[in-house]
Amino acid sequence: MEQLMQLLKPIQNVLEYVVVFLYENVTTNYGLVIILLTIIVRIILTPLTISQTRSMAKMQKLQPQLKEIQKKCKDDKQKLQQETMEFYKKNNVNPLAGCLPLILQMPVFFALFQVLREPSQRVLEVVGDNFNFLWMNLNERDPYYILVIVMVATMFLSTKMTTTDPKQSKIMYVMPLVFGFISWQFPSGILVYWVTTNIWSIGQQWIVNKIISKQKVEEELKQKKERLAKKDEISEEELKKILKKKKKRKKRK
């Protein structure tokens, strides 16, 4: 654990400088500093987030076809695995692509967690004892647990928006409660960061769902046009056959 903290120290130092800069130049409200810091971190990580979002959107779009494969091969696990891998290859999809950006973001999140959990001497020299925000002291836990409830609610909503497999529905209910249980003793500053992150994720997923919905409509329209085009082709062929039959009848007469 100590070695991990040492590895995260350079990132932690940068984040502390940002906290000091925001407090000295933007706002002396420590709660707003945390919210702004969270937004800055999310903006910096936008390229990774976009990659993750695109991968999630593509995977969600392919879910109906994957379910069909699962139904077809439900009694043969080996065939299911083979068919699934072929499906991913055919559609140029990496199922781990959505996880990789998240893994790459983890060092930043751990460093940020450390900055908020134990403010360094550098931060304390600037902020002093001005850690008050709304009804809380951000260096102490929320006395009314309101932030814990908000964190669990926003995490539940975020998880619900990203869960597409009914089998994962249990996770949707359990994970927010687990994190809520873990976090109720955390300093309020960490929960301000967590709630801000969840709200950002909800907004991000809402955009993803809009994109997917638009793509579905476009795909349905495309398929409809193709079906209509095929019907037109068939009707033309049938018309030709009818005309040929008429010509033959005329010749016989």
**Two tokens, residue 192:** 């301000």
Supply 28's token pair: 């002396």
Q: What is the pTM of this model?
A: 0.71
Torsion (CA) 233, 238, 242, 248 in degrees, nearest 10: 90
Q: ∠ at Cα 197 (194, 201), nearest 5°?
A: 135
Alpha-carbon Rg of the chain, whole angstroms?
28
pLDDT of 29 reads: 92
Give 1-12 pLDDT, tens digit per residue.
566 667 788 888
CA-to-CA separations, 215 to 76, 88, 154, in angstroms, rounded: 32, 19, 27
The strand pairing partners of 133, in sequence order, are: 136
Tens digits of per-residue pLDDT, 120-162? 888 888 888 888 888 988 888 888 889 999 999 998 888 777 6
In this structure, are residues 149 and 177 in contact, taking their beta carbons and an 8 Å threshold?
no
The span from the CA of 69 to the CA of 186, in Å, is 44
- The one-character DSSP state at 91 is T
pLDDT range class, residue 239, cuts 50, 70, 90? low
